[in-house]
A and B are shown apart, each in its own frame.
Chain A
Amino acid sequence: MANLRELSRKDELLTGGHRACAGCGAPVAVRQVLKAVDTPVVVGCATGCLEVTTTIYPYSAWNVPFIHSAFENVAATVSGIEAAYRSLKRQGRIQRDIQFVAFGGDGGTYDIGFQALSGAMERGHDMVYICYDNQAYMNTGIQRSSATPRGAATTTSPAGRVATGGKSQYRKDLTAVMAAHDIPYVAQTTISHWNDLITKVRKAFAVEGPAFVNILAPCRLGWQIDSADSIEICRKAVDTCFWPLYEVENGVWKITVKPKEKKPITEWLRPQGRFRHLFKPGNEKIIEEIQADVDRRWEMLQKRCEVGGAGMMPRE
């Protein structure tokens, strides 16, 4: 359990003065993640909003060693850094204990970066991969990604005169896909639940080997919400079970925050401009289908947690 007072006294490893939008979820996620690390940390970052807003030459918002090389390869780049660390440590050329964290948005993680991520996790590099999931290619102007939820209007899945429903596919359940890699730690969390987030990230850093944490982090521009509402909208994602908070520790599935009362999905959809068209007459069925999908997935998650993970035996 993290103590807010203690956390607030820790150094800011991502400083203010970066150029992310007011209300952006990504720097909030990063600051919370870095508050959870105690040992020195090296950060890798995929191309995306986080990278471009924090490293505009000749400035850098990072108070820790930082590398960005390309869009799809942060997991591979950090694999190389971690391999160098292991090699140099074995040779006695460095003594310090260092942690490694890779940040990617949903585009650089669910889509183009998926291969490198899967490879790095399979190889067992001792790193924490953080996906800040804002559900579209926000950096390039809000194009749909495989993390974009069904019904969302983006610039490549617009709500038009004929196709009135926005994106027609459901989002990829990447957290479950990562759990299927059978790595020591996988979790899903969001910035509104800072304690849940920090507890999970601490666990992720504590394990030996790879860990993956998927963090829902709003893009106020893409979601078309007010800057002040970023945290509130994440709470709604949890309360409606659109974004359940859970972890898979050594193969054992566990829901970490169970909403007292499961709210209807409209509470998550209605405040966001990207879902506005769904509330127009004729689109009722889409909302019903989204609700049914959320219910189905929530049921599935609960069952997985009841049996400790879809029949998976915990590791010794």
Chain B
Amino acid sequence: MTGNEAVAEAMRQVNPDVVAAYPITPQTEIVQIFSTFVADGLVKTEFVTVESEHSAMSATIGAAAAGARAMTATSSQGFALMWEMLYIAAGLRLPIVMPVVNRALSAPINIHCDHSDTMGARDSGWIQIFSENAQEAYDNVIQAVRIAESRDVLLPAMVCMDGFIVSHGMESVKLLKDEEVRGFIGGYEPAYSLLDVDHPITVGALDFADWYFEHKRQEAAAEVPVAEVVRRVGEEYGKLSGRSYGLFEAYRLDDAEVAVVALGSTAGTAKAVVDELRREGVRAGVLKIRLYRPFPGDEIVRVLSGVKAIAVLDRSDTFSTMGGPVFIDIKASMYAPIYDDSVYDDSVHGPVRGSTHDRDARDTGARDTTQRPVIVNYIYGLGGRDIDLEQIRKVYERLQAIATTGEAGQCVSYLGVRE
């Protein structure tokens, strides 16, 4: 089946109380298929065919605040139109799950894959999980329900998959049985509901300078346990399905000297190149990031610490002359531990609640400036431009040269573009 079909199946099995949706290529198919499930009585869902993506997210927020399990799905411009409401969903701590089919942003208008849309909201407070293929997209939607609704978390989560490459490409996908999914996600008991009329609550109050900061601080604290919850849910899902998930996939990285970091379908292409290179005796590996927000920087640095040269492949640009977003995140993570509690004075800054970062995190060799790997960035694949095995092979060849000389040369390059 296609990625869109797989995600629609996952949504059918999750059986949300409310889905609000507006069509946009290449996501349309998901809600289109889902609407037939509604029409055929296969789900209990109230399907709200809103007049825009802004209203799709608004209605989903309303439904979630009313205590319903609520979902929507989108892409690209529609995602951008939701932008204001994404922050509100996170700020209100509503565990909404949203599949996003990654697509380029205008202008120029383009319907094909890149990650510009979701990267634009990487700091909105949403959990972002990337999928390599249709199987992962399916698995991730089911896990996202558990992650978002975890009482330690209560944050909205988006499950990203590459437009057309995954959304419309055909693959064989293993589905769980309906009752297995039902058992895994469990029933949903919201802590608060607008429909609990005997216990009225005020949602979305006005904060002045005396409270806004504290509430945003609490939102930031809610991000800290996400990684642990993602790991736990991924393991539990593995027991159920035979497919375990972590924060990322470290492919042949143990003894790797050169590595490529990528999100989504490109990680699969890179893995194929690594298999070839390994046969040729090259110590190459791939780091596929699954949980992109919150960014598990400490863990990623730890797993990359033995690598001599790294290329981060970014399927979007920041237009900041600093390179792509993933590159900037990894470079920043390599500089110093993020939550180093030895330099963090609780009495001044307040505690980092739920922190899972231990003191060992700052002891990795990677934090030592003399031993930090050389890291370069490639922006690639914008607007659906293909990336092939040969291009990625060339990236590894450059990394081998960097590993030998220690000289990076140009830090940010554009791969596969006519300059």
Residues of A within 8 A of B (CB): 40-42, 44, 51-52, 55-58, 60, 62-70, 72-73, 75-88, 90-91, 94, 96, 98, 115-116, 118-120, 122-123
Closest to B45 in A: A87
Query: Per-position contact with A for B332-360: 1 when CB-CB < 8 Å, else 0?
Result: 00000000000000000000000000000
Question: Quick check: A67 and B194 within 8 Å, CB to CB?
Answer: yes
Question: Quick check: B18 and A68 within 8 Å, CB to CB?
Answer: no
Question: Given A65-B196, A65-B200, A119-B51, A79–B62 Cβ distance below 8 Å?
Answer: yes
Question: Quick check: A57 and B206 within 8 Å, CB to CB?
Answer: yes
Q: In the complex, what residues of A have CB within 8 A of residue B200's CB?
A: 62-66
How far apart are the CA atoms of A81 and B85 in the complex, in Å?
Answer: 16
Cβ of B240 < 8 Å from any Cβ of A?
no
Query: Per-position contact with A for B191-229: 1 when CB-CB < 8 Å, else 0?
Result: 000111100111111111001000000000000000000
Q: In the complex, what residues of B have CB within 8 A of residue A85's CB?
A: 66, 195
Q: In the complex, what residues of A have CB within 8 A of residue B207's CB?
A: 57
Cross-chain contact of B202 among A55, A88, A119, A123 (Cβ < 8 A):
A55
Cβ of B52 < 8 Å from any Cβ of A?
yes
How far apart are the CA atoms of A65 and B197 in the complex, in Å?
Answer: 6
* 22 residue pairs A–B, Cβ–Cβ below 8 Å: A56-B205, A57-B205, A60-B202, A64-B200, A65-B201, A66-B202, A69-B204, A75-B55, A77-B61, A80-B60, A81-B65, A81-B194, A83-B20, A83-B62, A83-B68, A84-B62, A84-B67, A88-B66, A98-B197, A115-B52, A119-B55, A122-B51
Q: In the complex, what residues of A have CB within 8 A of residue B44's CB?
A: 87, 90-91
Q: In the complex, what residues of A have CB within 8 A of residue B208's CB?
A: 56-57
Question: Quick check: A42 and B50 within 8 Å, CB to CB?
Answer: no
Closest to A102 in B: B62
Residues of B within 8 A of A (CB): 17-18, 20, 44-46, 48-52, 54-56, 58-68, 70, 84-85, 88, 92, 194-197, 200-208, 211
Cross-chain contact of A76 among B55, B92, B201 (Cβ < 8 A):
B55
How far apart are the CA atoms of A242 and B56 in the complex, in Å?
Answer: 37
How far apart are the CA atoms of A40 and B195 in the complex, in Å?
Answer: 9
Closest to B88 in A: A69
Question: Given A55-B205, A98-B195, A73–B55 Cβ distance below 8 Å?
Answer: yes
Q: In the complex, what residues of A have CB within 8 A of residue B55's CB?
A: 73, 75-76, 79, 115-116, 119-120
How far apart are the CA atoms of A96 and B195 in the complex, in Å?
Answer: 9
How far apart are the CA atoms of A69 and B56 in the complex, in Å?
Answer: 13
Question: Quick check: A67 and B65 within 8 Å, CB to CB?
Answer: yes
Tell me, rounded to whole Å, the shortest Cβ–Cβ distance linking B393 to chain A: 48
Q: A41-B197, A81-B65, A84-B64 are in contact. List 5 more A-B contacts (CB 8 A).
A: A42-B66, A80-B64, A83-B18, A87-B18, A123-B48
Residue with the highest number of chain A CB atoms closer than 10 Å, among B48, B50, B56, B203 = B48
Q: In the complex, what residues of A have CB within 8 A of residue B18's CB?
A: 80, 83-84, 87
Q: In the complex, what residues of B have CB within 8 A of residue A56's CB?
A: 205-206, 208
Question: Quick check: A83 and B63 within 8 Å, CB to CB?
Answer: yes
Question: Given A67-B194, A69-B204, A84-B66, A58–B211 Cβ distance below 8 Å?
Answer: yes
Q: In the complex, what residues of B have CB within 8 A of residue A70's CB?
A: 58, 84-85, 88
How far apart are the CA atoms of A57 and B92 in the complex, in Å?
Answer: 14
Question: Quick check: A84 and B46 within 8 Å, CB to CB?
Answer: yes
Question: Quick check: B66 and A55 within 8 Å, CB to CB?
Answer: no
Tell me, rounded to whole Å, the shortest Cβ–Cβ distance linking B194 to chain A: 4
Question: Given A84-B68, A96-B197, A51–B59 Cβ distance below 8 Å?
Answer: no
Tell me, rounded to whole Å, the shortest Cβ–Cβ distance linking B412 to chain A: 36
Tell me, rounded to whole Å, the shortest Cβ–Cβ distance linking B207 to chain A: 5
Closest to A53 in B: B206
Question: Quick check: B194 and A51 within 8 Å, CB to CB?
Answer: no
Tell me, rounded to whole Å, the shortest Cβ–Cβ distance linking A19 to chain B: 10
Tell me, rounded to whole Å, the shortest Cβ–Cβ distance linking B88 to chain A: 5
Question: Quick check: A77 and B201 within 8 Å, CB to CB?
Answer: no
Q: In the complex, what residues of B have CB within 8 A of residue A123's CB?
A: 48-50
Tell me, rounded to whole Å, the shortest Cβ–Cβ distance linking B250 to chain A: 40
Question: Quick check: B58 and A80 within 8 Å, CB to CB?
Answer: yes
Q: In the complex, what residues of B have CB within 8 A of residue A68's CB?
A: 203-206
Tell me, rounded to whole Å, the shortest Cβ–Cβ distance linking B198 to chain A: 8
Question: Quick check: B203 and A67 within 8 Å, CB to CB?
Answer: yes
Q: In the complex, what residues of A have CB within 8 A of residue B66's CB?
A: 42, 80-81, 84-85, 88
Question: Quick check: B51 and A40 within 8 Å, CB to CB?
Answer: no
Residue with the highest number of chain A CB atoms closer than 10 Å, among B45, B66, B197, B201 = B66
Closest to A91 in B: B44
Question: Quick check: A69 and B206 within 8 Å, CB to CB?
Answer: no
Question: Quick check: B51 and A81 within 8 Å, CB to CB?
Answer: no
Q: In the complex, what residues of B have CB within 8 A of residue A67's CB?
A: 62, 65, 194, 202-204
Closest to A72 in B: B54
Question: Quick check: A65 and B206 within 8 Å, CB to CB?
Answer: no
Cross-chain contact of B70 among A62, A75, A80, A94 (Cβ < 8 A):
A80
Q: In the complex, what residues of B have CB within 8 A of residue A116's CB?
A: 51-52, 54-55, 58
Q: In the complex, what residues of B have CB within 8 A of residue A94's CB?
A: 195
Residue with the highest number of chain A CB atoms closer than 10 Å, among B50, B196, B205 = B205
Tell me, rounded to whole Å, the shortest Cβ–Cβ distance linking A108 to chain B: 12
Closest to B92 in A: A69
How far apart are the CA atoms of A86 and B63 in the complex, in Å?
Answer: 10
Question: Given A55-B205, A83-B59, A88–B67 Cβ distance below 8 Å?
Answer: yes
Question: Quick check: A55 and B17 within 8 Å, CB to CB?
Answer: no
Residue with the highest number of chain A CB atoms closer than 10 Å, among B56, B58, B70 = B58
Q: In the complex, what residues of A have CB within 8 A of residue B56's CB?
A: 76
Question: Quick check: A87 and B17 within 8 Å, CB to CB?
Answer: yes
Closest to B87 in A: A70
Closest to A39 in B: B197
Q: In the complex, what residues of A have CB within 8 A of residue B59's CB?
A: 76-77, 79-80, 83
